[in-house]
């Protein structure tokens, strides 16, 4: 178990304009021990836009004055775009659509890892990047959704790799891949998300409880919203 977050801890939410990101903003703002919550997204100042990689470095530079950060939530990701729909079979694979999915699910978060992990508190920093259970290779029994599955599996490897490096410089910090479950959002709506998903506030409350129970020994884990450890 990690030591309790210090009084007056500082938090960051990347992807604050989305359903889960905005719910994390509300959750953290309501926490009595949280002194500040910084929001980053495509519409913030400074912005983070994975289509413009230079914005990630610029946003990290702008946040440096507020470091160290004790909490960082990376709530970005995409399942479908106007050009990309989840594939039902290999014949549906399209390179341009795959590039869109990987940019948003893997390449952009990779740049976040590069530029924002140095801002984490070395003794009690916590970074969680939203992944997905369907990114588990060991749990894949249905096939399909190749681009989404592969992009999240690649993200999981980035998290694991980053955790090993981070341990050398931030021994008290933890970085994890976090499965949010099905949440009512634009991402899940075309796939019955409004019927089977939880409200973003409920989902975030569950995730926050789980995150508060993690410590440095959990760094590099693939964790579900309810605390279960998921197979790679």
Cα(48)–Cα(25) distance, integer angstroms: 16
**Residue range 67-108, pLDDT digits in tens:** 999 999 999 999 877 777 889 999 999 999 999 999 999 999
21-64 pLDDT per residue, tens: 999 999 999 999 999 999 999 999 999 999 999 999 999 999 99
Number of residues written out for the chain: 232
H/E stretch holding 232 reads: none
What are 122-145's pLDDT values in tens digits?
999 999 999 999 999 999 999 999
Quote the pLDDT of residue 84. Answer: 76
Q: What is the pLDDT of residue 82?
A: 79
Mean pLDDT of 165-181: 96
Q: What is the pTM of this model?
A: 0.92
SS (H, E, C) 134-177: HHCCCCCCCCCCHHHHHHHHHHHHHHHHHHHHHHHHCCCCEEEE
153 in Cβ contact with 135 (< 8 Å): yes
Structure tokens at 22: 């905005």
Task: State the pLDDT at residue 1.
Answer: 38
pLDDT > 90? residue 187: no
Q: Going by C-beta distance under 8 Å and a sequence separation of 6 or more, which residues neighbour residue 74?
A: 14, 15, 109, 112, 127, 128, 129, 130
The average pLDDT across 143-156 equals 96
């Amino acid at each position: 178990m990690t030591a309790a977050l210090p009084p007056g801890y500082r938090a960051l939410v990347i992807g604050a304009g989305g359903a889960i990101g905005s719910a994390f903003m509300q959750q953290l703002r309501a926490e009595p021990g949280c002194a500040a919550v910084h929001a980053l997204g495509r519409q913030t100042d400074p912005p983070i836009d994975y289509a413009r990689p230079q914005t990630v470095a610029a946003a990290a530079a702008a946040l440096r004055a507020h470091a160290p950060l004790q909490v960082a939530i990376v709530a970005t990701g995409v399942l479908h775009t106007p050009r990309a729909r989840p594939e039902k079979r290999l014949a549906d694979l399209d390179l341009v659509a795959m590039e869109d999915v990987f940019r948003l699910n893997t390449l952009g978060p990779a740049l976040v890892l590069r530029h924002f992990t140095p801002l984490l508190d070395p003794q009690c920093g916590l970074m969680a990047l939203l992944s997905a259970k369907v990114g588990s290779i060991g749990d894949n029994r249905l096939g399909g959704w190749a681009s989404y599955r592969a992009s999240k599996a690649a993200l999981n490897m980035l998290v694991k790799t980053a955790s090993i490096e981070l341990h050398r410089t931030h021994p008290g910090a933890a970085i994890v891949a976090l499965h949010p479950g099905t949440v009512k959002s634009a991402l899940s709506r075309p796939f019955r998300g409004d019927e089977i998903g939880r409200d973003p506030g409920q989902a975030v409350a569950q995730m926050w409880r789980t995150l508060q129970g993690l410590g440095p020994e959990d760094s590099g884990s693939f964790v579900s919203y309810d605390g279960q450890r998921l197979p790679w």
